[in-house]
Each structure stands twice: as C-alpha cells, then as structure tokens.
Amino acid sequence: MKKYFKITALLVIGFMGMATTIGNQPNDKYFEMIKNIEIFTNLYKEINTYYVDEVDPGKLMRTGLDAMMESLDPYTNYISESDIEGYRFLTDGKYNGIGARSKKMGDYVTITELYKDQPADRAGLRPGDQIVAIDGNDTKGKSGDAINALLRGFPNTTVQIAVRRPGTKELINLTLTRGEVQVPNVPYSGMVRDDIGYVSLTTFTRNAGMNVKNAIQKLKKENPSIKGVIFDLRDNGGGLLNEAVNISNIFIPKGELVVKTKGKVKDWDMSFRTTTTPLDTEIPLVILINGRSASASEIVSGVIQDYDRGVLLGQRSYGKGLVQNTKDIGYNAKLKLTTAKYYIPSERCIQSVEYKDGEPVDIADEKRTPFKTRNGRTVLDGGGVKPDIFVNKVTDVGVIKSLVDQALIFDYVTDYCLKRDSIKNIEAFRFTEINEFLSFLESKNFQYQTESEKLISQLEKMTSKEGYDLDTSLKSLSQKVKAAKKDEILRYKEEITKLIEKEIASRYFYQKGKIKMGLRNDIEIEEAVKVINDSSRYNQLLGNR
C-alpha cells in the first residue's frame, strides 16, 4: 500500500514543481494535471487491492495507457520495454528474433515470408507453416503481436516451435536459435527495360540515404548509357526524417529546403535543408507511390514534386504529415509523441484531415487547398501526395482483392510449392496452371460480394422499409450480376497469374525474387518506362518550358 502513496506523492511533487515554474494560477491546466494524476493513482490502487478477481497490474496499466493514446492521433504511442524490439526495427532495420514475417489466419498465426539466411530460414520454417505451440504452450487464438513477442529475444537463446505444415499430418517440432535479424532497406536495385535503372526502398531506417545513393552510383557506373531512374517507394511506411532529407539531397541541389516542422512549442520549430552536393540533378526520375507510402516517403515524393524534379506515378499516398519524437519515460519504456506537423517546400501539409475506422479517407480535390510548385504547377494539401500520373491498382479490383484478403493465392502457392523443390530462374519461369488454380478455388468454395451486390442488398432493405414492391426487379438484377461474376476471374486471368508468379518467386528466391518478378509483371513499371522514354511528355508533366 505504501508504494502507491509514494508514487502519488512523487508525481504530485513533480507536477507542483512544474506548475510553480510555469505559473501559480490554481485553476490552470497544471492544477488539473496534479488533481487527475492523484485520482488516477488512487483508482489504480483501489482496483488492484480490492477488485473481486485477481488483476495483473501491468496489463491493467497498459489498458489505461493505450486508451489514453487512442484519444490522440494514431501515431502517438506508448512503447513498453517488451515493445522495444519492434521500435528498434523501425529505426535501425534490425531486431533480435527469428527473421520471419507472419499473419494470423484463422485460429493460428501463419508464416508468410522468410528473410534469407536468418534463423527461421536456417531452421527449416516455410511460408504456410502454422505456429501451433511455442515452448510447449498452445498458441491457438493468440494475436500476431503476442506471437512476435514470444519469438523475439536475446541472440543465441533458443525457442521451441511446433508447426502444422500443409500436406504433412504430423506436427513438426523445430528448435530456433534467435539472432540479430538485419533487414536491408534497399533489397534490390538493377536495370529494367531500355537502359532504365530501378531502386527499391522499403523503409527509411539508418543509412537509407547512403544505400540509395550507392545503388544509383553503381547503376550509373555499370551502365553509362542509363536513361533514367525509377525509385520505388510503394508500401514504404516511412521512418527517420533525416534519411528523407539525405535521399532528397541525392536529386536536388545543396541548400534547398526539404521540410519544415511546426508545432505547439515554437522554439522546437525547425527547417531541414540539403547539406551536400547532390549525386544527379538532371537524370530523368520517376517515383512510384501508393496508398501505403507514408511519412518520410511522402516528404521525398512531395519534395521531388514541389521542385518539379521528377514525375510521381501510382496512387495517392497515405497522408501522414505528422512528426513524432520519442521520450524516455523510465523502466526502458518510451513515449512516441506527435510534436509537430511537417510542411514541404510548397508550404503544403499533406496530413489527412478525414479518418474512418482509423484510416485516412480520400477527400475531393475541391476541398483541398491549392499550392504551387517551382514551375507553377498546382498541387494540393490535406490528404497525401497526389501522383502526376494515376494508375489503377490491380488489387483494388473486387475479385482480386477478395482473393488476396482471403489468402487464397497464398494458400494455393503453398500447395503448389509443396510439390516442387525448385523452379526455373525468374526470367524463364511462367505460371501456366491457371485451370488448376480455378479448381483450387472451387474446392475452397470461393465466394465474394461485389460492390454492385452490396448496393442491391442495401436497396432491398431500403425498399422493404419504405414499402416499395421491387422484389422481382431486384432479384432479376441480382441474377444478372451473379452471372457476370462467373466470368470475372477469367477476365482478370493475366493479372491474377502475375500475382501468383510473384508469390511463387518469393518462396524460392525470397524478397529479392519477389521484387524481380514484380518488375517483369508490373504495369506501373511499364508506364514509368514509357514516361522516361518520352522526353516530351516527361517535360510537359513537370511544366518545363
């Protein structure tokens, strides 16, 4: 009991000191902070002491802290000591664990991807393996985060895993020795068609700028006739702000503004400019972005757009224009706290202004404030970076999205790879068993609801509620939609085949193989190549006279 009063006393004394320093008004917010801290501590003490069932103090406190964070923006988070490895991965690109990606599918977490030559790969884990026990403890129903927490640990420690592998009746028991897993932020660079270079950046972790610069230098050295560069920021959720500055500096001159940060504490407002001689300010550049390109990805793509340095291609970016800083708060825990918004050279902030279920919502262009690029092109704020060339994302198509969301392509490829020890190299491999895939879908009783069917269902409810007799007409319309659905998989056969090939490549050649196969099949790469090869169109898009 004494420890609760001691904690309360220390907190109150600390806030009293703060209040004395800042002001002595009894009704200001610092008095409210003191009062509510004491109420919170007393409440915590009473629940832990007298609640009818046994309470885990750490879990109870975490629930309260998470609820507090949820009332703010999505990026302000409490990072406990047990979460530090995940935080380290986001900043350094490495963590202590087994080197595998996973996702909950049904009752169990399933391995979805392996990092080459990391502990999970060396121990013989495979994509498709269900983790059914860890160190003898059943994992049924546990979340992906809970499983990752159990798998992470100090290097050279071991963990026992039991997995259920498709095609195998008995459980497989594996012993994994944890290690320091390092995930490269530039997993692939190379040449694509027509002497055009390609560089993929997956995260803005330490040395991202140096690694991108080195990759482009190598491409230019090995290919003197290089015509342009495609820089892939799709699905890149961001990372370190200074690396966004370093990467921008590869393409724009020294001394140019990259980003300003503005927050409540004016003394903390900062401007970040390029500081070194750029690698190349002239080579044609196309940056690929999509709805999962966020934060530092949006700084780089937004800067390139604002200075008319390159063409953006793909879909509108996520819309995260907030800056986070981390604060140590004791016991190896941290607070990741939003302290400012960032503004790119045109003075626009690209933070999304509307959310639904925690995700940004696209808002109409007429609701967004216009700004100007250096060449006078109009760009907009308030909801991500809009590409100069929009390309429809294939996985947004109803039937394809359902195949991906229901993990049916993943499951089929798991079965496919069980029957084949290897495939030809990426360049030579072609997937031709589309009829086998269709039979697989039939065996799984694949079903999905189109947007049209959703609207018909809503209309049926509404007309019934309002007393209109349209049952016959709506049923007829519904039958026509269902008949059209039967042909939809065949209509998108080529796109589905490309997704299957990409997943197969990842199983045999890991992340690099997945990217290389994507380059061969990617319609956005094709469009980027066309733009670079058409100098007239390229310059027209950038407003160059």
What percent of the chain clears pLDDT 90, i.e. is strictly above it?
A: 53
Band of pLDDT at residue 27, cut at 50, 70 and 90: low
Please indicate whether residue 77 or residue 525 has the higher confidence score (pLDDT). Answer: 525
| pLDDT exceeds 50 at position 21 | no
Long-range contacts of 497-503 (CB under 8 A, 24+ apart): 497/431, 497/434, 498/394, 499/394, 499/395, 499/400, 499/403, 499/404, 499/409, 500/409, 500/412, 500/413, 500/431, 500/437, 501/429, 501/430, 501/431, 503/409, 503/410, 503/413
What percent of the chain clears pLDDT 70, i.e. is strictly above it?
A: 89
Tens digits of per-residue pLDDT, 401-442? 999 999 999 999 999 999 999 998 898 999 999 999 999 998
Predicted pLDDT at 374:
96
Predicted pLDDT at 84:
52
pTM: 0.79
Please indicate whether residue 471 or residue 8 has the higher confidence score (pLDDT). Answer: 471
What's the rounded mean pLDDT across residues 234-252? 95
Rounded CA-CA distance 376/245 in Å is 23
CATH architecture of 94-182: Roll (2.30)
Tens digits of per-residue pLDDT, 336-346? 777 888 899 99
For the chain, domain boundaries? 2-55, 94-182, 188-390, 395-448+492-526, 451-485
Q: Which range is least confidently modeled, 35-39, 343-347, 480-484?
A: 480-484
Predicted pLDDT at 91:
53
Tens digits of per-residue pLDDT, 39-88? 888 888 888 888 878 888 888 888 888 888 777 766 677 766 555 555 55
| pLDDT exceeds 80 at position 219 | yes
Q: Which residues does 160 contact at the CB level (< 8 Å), separation at least 6? A: 133, 134, 135, 136, 173, 174, 175, 176
* Residue 125 C-alpha from the chain's centroid: 24
What's the rounded mean pLDDT across residues 257-263? 94
| Residue labelled with tokens 């990409």 | 502
Predicted pLDDT at 3:
46
Q: Which range is least confidently modeled, 283-292, 297-306, 478-487?
A: 478-487
Rounded CA-CA distance 337/75 in Å is 7
Predicted pLDDT at 95:
66
What's the rounded mean pLDDT across residues 170-177? 95
| pLDDT exceeds 60 at position 90 | no
| pLDDT exceeds 60 at position 305 | yes
| pLDDT exceeds 70 at position 8 | no
Please indicate whether residue 121 or residue 468 has the higher confidence score (pLDDT). Answer: 121
Q: Residue 130 in contact with residue 117, Cβ under 8 Å?
A: no
Q: What does the mean pLDDT of the chain come to?
A: 86
Predicted pLDDT at 229:
98
Predicted pLDDT at 200:
97
| pLDDT exceeds 80 at position 18 | no
Query: Which CATH homologous superfamily contains domain 188-390?
Result: 2-enoyl-CoA Hydratase; Chain A, domain 1 (3.90.226.10)
Side-chain half-sphere exposure of 342, counting CA atoms within 13 A = 29
- Report which DSSP code applies to 83: G
